[in-house]
Structure 1
Amino acid sequence: MRIHEFRRAPPATLESGPPPERSRSGRAPPPDPEGPVLDLHELWARAGSAVRTGLPRRFRVCATVTRVLPRWHGSHDLELRPTHGFLGSNAPVLNARIGADARDAIAAALERPFDPTELEHRDVTLTCTASWLSDARLRLNVSAIEPAWRVSEAELERARILDGLRRAGLLEAQRRLSSPAHLERVSVLHPPGQGWDDVAATLQALAAAGILQVDDLECRFDGPGAVPALIRRLDEAAALHRGREDRGLVLLVRGGGSPAGALGAREVAAAITTLTVPVVAAVGHRTDAATIADIVAWASLPTPSEARHLVLTLLDGSAARAEATWTALQAALDEFERSVHRLGIAGCEAVADAAEACLEAAKRRAESTARAIECGLEQTLILLAIPDRAARAAPDQSAPWPEGLVRLSDAAGGPIFGPEAAVGPLTLTFADGRSLTVAVVASHDPSTTH
């Protein structure tokens, strides 16, 4: 048996008073019913001695490895919990360390390379020694592992829950939701005082500025009644976002290290997957194991601070899209104005071309009419000049007429000088002496001439 040597008490001084006197019988006085007075150093030493003397030098531990964290110099820390499933926040948790030498020894015993991360979510039997650390914590030092480790009961239960959600078509339901195009409302579900402070100041400032509506839905994530309370809060969030699901977000926020057994419950996972509002799980730190809520949520973030960053990113995206839409609208209006201007110019040019074509056609008709009138006037003048020439000619000599014209005479052979005399059979006499008799012509009424 190992014996721990305690520090001796300091000698008595005048201030501390004389030592207690023994009774006259020579026996020590009875013990103080309130117990001895110990300083912290002595308390820590006695506790460590009790641990070291109360435990065997080497012993085997059956436990479930819930997490494996790499450390420096090739060592790994294991988080150990009981092997009989979920026990909530009251389950004991111990840390065990596998050093680099122990890892090499385990690999030699297994006759293959060994990575301690293989033990995550496995039920194992470890050969350990105990160490009492300076911060009053018990740590196990692993020296060997039995090779017949198996999947833990907790991991099997987790797999059964996920398989049930997959068969129901709910496992990827949240992931199929689109990102909020214009974020208007955020509902935050959080345990009292855990993780909410990380995001509260930012969200409350946005709410005060009228940029965002924020719902503070406080509920416990662990302990008796946590599962139904969390489901009720999820139903409240769904009612608050009804009709505006594409503009909202639900945050599950929890500080790292605090218990969150309700986030691994089947009922909570079903409630999350049936929501039509994107749900973001931001529970714990980066080293915390993922819960079932992390797996089924629309997004899983390691810390509440990253949830705050996601909200700001979505708001920035909404502002950028609004600005881009405004810019595109202005560009479209400018292009429409230019198109109207171009169409107006083209229409005016078409009207001008049509007017010019009409003017050209009118000009051509006017010129043709002018030529016809001029020709008619010339012929009229020639016809009017014929009687004068006939009067000046000798009585027994017929009056000549210009080349290319004909003489019109009535049935008696007298010349016809106007349309009013052209009645009855007419004779056309050409310049070469040939003549032609035409049918009777009816009397012409000058008033019917157009």
Structure 2
Amino acid sequence: MSSSSQSIFQPDTDRCIFTICTKSYIGLANALGASLHARGVAADYVIVIVDHNITDVSSPFGRLVPATEICGYDTARWAERAFKYDLVELCTSIKARCFQALFEAGYDKVIYFDPDIIVFDDLHTVFTGLEDHDVVVTPHRLAYDSDMPARGGVFNIGFLAARRSLASDRVLAWWDARLENRSLSDPIRGFFTDQKWLDHLPVLLRDGRLMVSGHPGMNLAPWNFGERTLDRRGEGWVVSLRGHEAEPKPLSFVHFSAFNYRMLAQGLVDPSTAEAVAQVPKFAEISEVLASYLRQGRFLDYSSIPYEFSTFSDGRPILQGHRRIFQRLQERGESLPEPFSTQGLFYLILQRSGLLARKSAGGTEKIRGKELERKIDRAASLLDSVSRLALRMVGYPRFSQLSKLLVRYFHTNNHARLLQYRGEKIDVEYF
């Protein structure tokens, strides 16, 4: 990785900001880049693209780099990684490796931002924090009166800043080793992509090496709207914690997670903005800033590009269960080259076992809102009837034991037991 990173990058400064996304999100990454440029942030900007050939595109705000190049993966190894992980898992799985490559290229201070972040200042607070600390992070929430479980982890790693040091090198190596096979979005098993792993940061970085920022203007996002207020001050914005008398802090960056960027780019009000305004009344003006940057970044020109790794070579959709089955077989030492190919062994195993989806499978599209609630209600009603029948047949003690088993058995990680392959049974993975 060292030689490749040095050949890819020729730093213009000791600071770098990077993001990771698909080709379809180049417009979103451009919006982030436009905000960095507008605020005069003194740093190189790198956009790491995980899918498709990118020789036909460029960015006026930063440098586009293929993930395979910055990570040093050959085609076969990248295909395996892109198959076992879904889109979000894949992007997050290379985050530590990108930090390592950028440090090896000669940068001293590196910031990662998710592409759905917009910057509102020059990031002086972040870079100053790296003068005295090896890593800077922000918690999802600063208030501690919530009883909601932190399924996504204590810290939101849509933002992470690090300086080059022996301590950060050790953390990145530890993190990267876990992301090799465990960058999973699987809260029921205790995984949440790259993010949950960094709950360990206070243990890994002691003696003041970690800065957990209490700045309310950093990483303003849907999960903390309820605890913060937003107000105009002169030409800028300030953020306060509700119920706290501390002096408001300047708005530094906003995390527009799960907003409808297409609607915003078209000048429409998306549902997430309406929900945000209900909690933070002045947020409508902030959304307009994002909308302007999306248009500047030509979001609509890229947004319809399909994700390269969502289907087999014949167009059949790859479902989450397929990815988990693939990983279970890999963990057993199976060699499964060319997993996307209809001629590959893995495709043939799924075909023989009746586990392929139809090419027109409607379940591959996300169902949201009221429609999702209705489908869940109908399915739950059916399961209620089946459960009452089982309860009458076996009694509650056995039913309780059975339900504990079924939670695990029906998990996609155990779908590998359905394979008709070599006549071997794969053990139920308990968690």
Tell me the TM-score normalized by structure 1. 0.19
Return the structure number with greater relative CO, CA threshold 8 A, min gap 6: 2
Structure with more strand by fraction: 1
Question: Which one has the largest radius of gyration?
Answer: 1
Tell me the TM-score normalized by structure 2. 0.19
